[in-house]
Amino acid sequence: MTRLRGRRLSILALGALVLAATGARAQHAGHGAAAPGADAPPRAGRTYTMEELHAAGGVPRGWKFTLPAGDPAKGRELFRELECGTCHALEGLSAPPSAGDAAHAGPELTGMGSHHPAEYFAESILAPNAVILAGPGFTGPDGRSIMPSYGDSLSVTQLIDLVAFLTSLTGDEGHVHGAAALEQTTGDYRIRLVYAGGGHAGHGAPSRAAGGHLQVFVADRQSGEPVPYLPVSATLRGGGMKPRVLKLLPMVDAQGFHYGVDVRIPDATDKVVVSIGRTTMRVMPPAARRFTKPVTVEFEWEGP
């Protein structure tokens, strides 16, 4: 791969990214951390004292690094600029490397967004030897990853957008719906919307034979763990069509626990509104008032 000349991703920039992503903004003399290069409003964070941070081991209880949401369209263009397709095959965007380059060919990326969280992709880009996978396409003769590090050639915003594009790759790259994977953080939740397969449909009834499956992954924004026992629904909206409300049921597949429904998304759809009601499980005192407020998030849905 050729490397894009950009701002150097310094340790200081990464520190700012971590603070912005987690929302754990410990303040000194009234100076808080701001989300880097984000178009969306800053996420509401919880307030801690420095003593509380130290008592919990230096981070808030239940803390987990969370990468901010990026722009998959910009990440797609960056994928082209970096010439990632010379090493990675991607359906609808790049062809497999030629036989002469087989020794340097990386894994195919088609559908890869369904298998790994955003933070895994970020680590693979910045520190490819942090997790080394054995086998052709992953390691060289020295046993190290053949993926070069881009830690010194990407800006923070570029990294976030590139990861957003990679997480959008859920297996239907030739016909991407709403960037295939969309993510927002609101209230106590981190919500990821995925549509697998399906193609196009009119306004008929959903059918498993159509191959479409809408998935909503709801995780605790603090720990990153899935949150069960929630009433979840999705409303499909678009010009010229009557809003269609879908009830999502809890289920488990190869991607883990999620709320889902078999459905083909109509062509006219331009928004998917996900609604999460108050949890039906008992909330214990340590988590008082968490998961008890209904939330609604709106995802822009783009055509193919």
Confidence grade of residue 211 (pLDDT, cut at 50, 70, 90): low
Interatomic CA distance for residues 235 and 244, integer angstroms: 5
Cα dihedral 230, 235, 236, 238 sign? negative
Confidence grade of residue 295 (pLDDT, cut at 50, 70, 90): very high
Q: Once rounded to an integer, what is the mean pLDDT over residues 243-252?
A: 95
More confident site: 20 or 191: 191
pLDDT tens, residue by residue, 68-86: 888 888 888 898 888 888 8
Confidence grade of residue 177 (pLDDT, cut at 50, 70, 90): very low
Q: Percent of the chain at pLDDT above 90? A: 23
Give me the pLDDT at residue 103, please: 59
Q: Would you state the CATH architecture of domain 1-169?
A: Orthogonal Bundle (1.10)
Q: At CB < 8 A and 24+ separation, what contacts does 203-208 make? A: 203/241, 203/242, 203/266, 203/268, 204/264, 206/246, 206/261, 206/262, 206/263, 206/264, 207/262, 207/264, 208/262
Q: Where are the domains of the chain?
A: 1-169, 175-300
Give me the pLDDT at residue 224, please: 80
> Residue holding tokens 């053949």?
146
Residue 95: count other Cβ atoms within 10 Å of its Cβ: 10
According to CATH, the topology of domain 175-300 is Immunoglobulin-like (2.60.40)
Confidence grade of residue 16 (pLDDT, cut at 50, 70, 90): very low
Highest mean predicted confidence (pLDDT) among 5-19, 161-175, 252-266: 252-266
H helices of the chain, in order, are 11-22, 50-55, 72-81, 118-126, 156-167
Give me the pLDDT at residue 228, please: 93
